[in-house]
Each structure stands twice: as C-alpha cells, then as structure tokens.
Structure 1
Amino acid sequence: MWARASLRHAHTRNISSKPAASRSSSYGPAAAILGIAASYYFFSPDVSRAAPTVEDQVLSPTYFTKCSITSNENSGPDTRLVTVTVPAKSIPSTSSLHPIWSVYIKDDAIQVERPYTPLGGIDSDGRMRFWIKKYPRGEVGRWLHSKIVGDVIELRGPLQTWRWQPDTWDEVIMISGGTGITPFYQLFHSVISQMPTSSTCFTLLHSSKTEDELPPPAILDSLISYAKEHPSNFRVRLFVDTPAADIPEAQTGRIGRVDIERSLRKDVSSSTWLGRLLGQTEIPDLRQRKVLFLVCGPEPMLNAIAGPYGRNFSQGPVGGALAELGCRTDQVYKL
C-alpha cells in the first residue's frame, strides 16, 4: 500500500522490477552499507524469483512459507483486515523481532509479491493481522481481498524496515496517510504501549481523505484510548479532507508545517503577546533537539512532508515541510 503493509510501505514493488524495501538507516556509514548489502541480497529480483517454498522451517526472508487465511473482514471502502496464520513449526521467536518489520506476500498465480506490515507483529499462535487496501492496479491487494478462510498463501520474511533504538530520541513524531499507519501501529503495539513511563514522547499525526477511510476501530480505538490514558507519553491527531461527523477527534484539513510544529512537546509559539494573539509561530531550532520524524504514506503526502525518495529508494535529502523546519538528515526517516 502506498504506505506499506496493508501498507505499501511507501513503495510497493514487483518482484521483477524495483529493488527492495529496506533502506539504510541514518545511524552511520556502517549501518548504511549493511542495509544496502541486505537490500541487494533479500530483495534483488533474481533472489526473490528463485526463492523456494520450504515447509517445517522457521520463517525466513530467503524462502517462502505456506500459511493459512484465518480471517478476512471488511473494514471500510476498499480495505480489509486479513489475518494470516503461520504453521506452528514456522513461528519465529518473538525476541528476534524488533519493530518495524514486514513480510512479503506472493500472488503465486502471477508470481508477484508485495511487502505488508503485520499490525501487532505475530502472536504465540502464529497469527499476523494486516490492514490491506485494494488498489485498481494493485495485483496482490486485489488478490488478498478475494481470499476466504482456509485459503493457503505464501510469504517470506520477516524483513526489517526500521529498528527502534531505545533512549535515542526525546520525541518521535510519526506522520502517516491511509494504510501508511500500519508500521506505526506495530511500533505502538510492540514498543509504545509497553513503556508508558518512557522518557520518549510519541505523537502520531494521521491523515485520511474521508471519515470512512480512517483506520477501523480495531486499529483506532486502542490508539485513542491509550492516548487519553497516557497523554504525556502518547498523542494522536487525526486529519480528514472533509468534516468527520462521528469522530470529534478528527480535524478537517491536511497535515502541514504548522501542524507539525504544534505537535512538538515544547511550546514553539512566538514569545511575544502579539504573536500569540495572531496565532503566529516561529520555526524551532530542531537541529539542537533530539526529535525524530517518521513518515509513511502515499507519495504526494510523503513528498510534501519530507521530500521524495532518492535514487533506488534511498532516503534522499530532506524536503517539504520538514526541510522548512530545518530538520537534519538523521532526524527524518521515510518508510
């Protein structure tokens, strides 16, 4: 999904076309080199096409595993919540999984695969739940929408998309559009909700075109509930293009620079009384702060917020609203 998993994690790809999803992190040259090497091995067209199907082995990026569809529920316009269950012998150790990670699901009829992010990771019974949007030209998404309980599909993974580094950032601002919320829900489920007293403050800014296209209750309810219970640790702000009658938390409009500024924990409003009266703000000196921005969504949104990807889906320079705010390259990560 243009934003992966259930998502397109911002860049869906055909196994015979674009190279892989894992992009080098901003934590240093060594990490970048390892990321590029892993990307070449795990996601190159030749490796992907040649990956065998293996039974009775733990999940791996190097081969496909047969799994069963155990639930497929409608969740809104062109979206479904799909649960896939991994065989008992193929369930990986949860201690080896660090968010944010995804798996590739293959439409074996046309030999095309796409990456999807499990919302809550994988549970002890091997269940993974995905929020998947059906696009007119999205082969695998349309194929998954047609599956019924009991159908068998093949997937490979887990594949690291971005790894959480504890005690690295004072603030983490997550900005998503549509199904691009899925990696952030995984981070919420695996990290944020498990550390309510953390010194890191998390904020989620999420945008959908209409109220009906907002994440379903299975996703949204726990986010909003947790934010109300732990306002100093986690906040959620929802945006829709048109007014939302049934969700008072939703703000009409799209996420912009001012919204990002206001999401920062410290008051960045002008210190003058006139500036406060007029609603004017000053650009904060983000370069001096330990603030990280994670962005996942359709390309137009991602470009406006953080700038486009670089060549071969590298991170590229910071652009858009975050460039206007003066963010450093290592303060922005495009999923």
Structure 2
Amino acid sequence: MAFRWPFNVVTLRLQSVESVNQDTKRFRFALPDPNAYPGLSLTSALLTVHRPAWSLFPVFRPYTPISNLAEPGYIEFLVKRYPNGRASGHLHRLQPGDKLTVMGPIRGYRWKTNEVHQINLIAGGVGITPMFQLIQGILNNAEEKTKIKLLFGANTDSELVLRDELNTFQKRFPDRFQVVYTVVHPAEGSPYRKGYITKELLEKELVMPKDEKWRVFVCGPPGMETSLFGTRGWFGLFGRRKGILEELGIPKNRTYKF
C-alpha cells in the first residue's frame, strides 16, 4: 500500500493531465510501485506539499482522490484553480513527468458497509470530489446495498464536473443511485434545472426513510454550506441563524460536512 495509517510521505510522478473546463483539471499520478494500491479508506484525503521559490515555508492543501481506490498503480485528483490559490496554481503548472509530494492519509467520515439504508449527498462545484469517492466506493462494492441520492449544484453547465461518470453510475445502478443537477446560470437549451440548492428543492428531493437509517453529507462553497447549516452566532447564542437542514427537522447527528 502507498499510504499507511497513521501518516506518511510519498512522492508521485504526474502521468497525465486533462482539462475538464476553463479552470479545472484532472491529474493522474503514478504511485512509486505500479503494483501497489493507494491504501486509502472511505473517506480519505491527502495533503499536497510544495514550497514556492519566494517562500521559506511550504504550502499544504488537502485534496480528495477521485480515482477508484481498488485499482493499483495510480491516483487521481480533480483540482479547480483559484485566482490566488497557491496550491491549485502550482498543480495547474505541472507537466507530465513532474513530481508532487503528498502526505496522508487524512481520514474523513469513516464509512462502514451497509451502516445505513439511504444516504443523501449535497454537493456544490468541486465539492463533488469527496462525494464521488464515496459514490464509487459504495457502488463498486458488491456487498453494499445502500441507496444514494445526489443533489449536485453548480454555477454553469461546464462546472458540473464528473457528470459523465455520474450518469454512467445512474445507468448501471438505476435502483440504487439517482442524481439531480441544478445550475444557477444554465446554457441556452440546457437540460438541467435552473437555480440554487434551495429549501424547496431539498423538501422535494431528500430521501428520509421512516426507519431512520439515513444520513446527509454536504460539501460545497462556504455560501452553500452556511445556507444549509446556518450560523452559530456569538458563543452559540446571539445572532444564531438556523440553516435549511435544521429548518427541515434534520438532526445534526444525521449530517456530516466534508
């Protein structure tokens, strides 16, 4: 295994780069041992490390692999470049053959096979990456029976990254996986719903079985997460604002924010 708990450092070589949209790229890195598996569990992220030439200190950023963790020899990241993003800018400048230092694993939600009957995933933009890791990890496991509903929002059609892979999963597992797309500024003739992820959309689409064996996972930009979870206010009291999930009566112990 390339990454062993609790933590280690690995140097990866970039095999290929694919432009996904105007500011997002998909990077495939070779593991040092082509026969080794990543050794990551659902759900896990890795820290990328680099030191800019003008800085005395390294830059660390967490990224969630989107590759199939059950396949050996490589690992993939989907990275959006931000205007002042030091880590994302460095990654976007890499060329095949270049190397990248990564550290990990960083454990997120510790998924257990069939621990619930239904999960709802709410993703915004590149917040889809931990969701995608969870989706393919569950659907590619022959022992899993968990059903998945994904609500995926983005500003434009092109920002619905990984939708080809998501649509393929929906065709392969029509009884277990469903995805709903919503776009703030859809293209002319777009097949996708127009608008943000709203309370009305969640009331309509969230699946919450009466047996209570369900969860809601969230990952997206700060504005989306604030609308869903609300604000704590001062000392958890003054200025506190409820989020949509609380307004819908969803208990905190059934939610998880990546």
Contact 1:193 1:226 in 2 (8 A): no
- CA offsets 1:236-279 (integer angstroms, 9 cap, x no match): 0111102244652x21001111211222347xxxxxxxxxxxxx
Query: Is 2:198 aligned against 1:256?
Result: yes
Letter in 1 for 2:62: P
Determine which of 144, 151, 156 is the counterpart of 1:205: 151
* Other-structure match for 1:236: 179
Letter in 2 for 1:172: I
- CA offsets 1:165-205 (integer angstroms, 9 cap, x no match): 2333222100011100001111111112434971x321010
Contact 1:223 1:236 in 2 (8 A): yes
Deviation of the 1:117 alpha carbon: 0.6
5 Å-filtered alignment, 1:148-159, equals 148-159=95-106
Determine which of 23, 35, 38 is the counterpart of 1:78: 23
Q: Secondary structure at the match of 2:60?
A: strand
Letter in 2 for 1:207: G
More moved, 132-141 vs 257-266: 257-266
For residues 23 and 129 of structure 2, the distance between their equivalents in structure 1, rounded to whole angstroms, comes to 16
* Other-structure match for 1:115: 62
* Other-structure match for 2:42: 99
For residues 309 and 70 of structure 1, the distance between their equivalents in structure 2, rounded to whole angstroms, comes to 44
For residues 211 and 173 of structure 2, the distance between their equivalents in structure 1, rounded to whole angstroms, comes to 26
Higher helix share: 1
Deviation of the 1:232 alpha carbon: 2.2
5 Å-filtered alignment, 1:283-322, equals 289-307=212-230, 319-322=242-245
Deviation of the 1:90 alpha carbon: 9.4
Are the structure 2 counterparts of residues 162 and 90 from structure 1 closer, same or farther at C-alpha, using a change threshold of 3 Å?
farther
Deviation of the 1:305 alpha carbon: 1.4
TM-score (norm: length of structure 2): 0.85
Contact 2:113 2:144 in 1 (8 A): no
Are the structure 2 counterparts of residues 310 and 83 from structure 1 closer, same or farther at C-alpha, using a change threshold of 3 Å?
farther
Deviation of the 1:124 alpha carbon: 4.2
Contact 1:306 1:334 in 2 (8 A): no
Aligned-residue Cα RMSD (Å) equals 2.8
Alignment length (residue pairs) = 248
* Other-structure match for 1:53: none
TM-score (norm: length of structure 1): 0.67
Contact 1:103 1:116 in 2 (8 A): yes
Which ranges of structure 1 fall in alignment gaps of 5 or more residues?
1-56, 267-285, 312-316
* Other-structure match for 1:59: 3
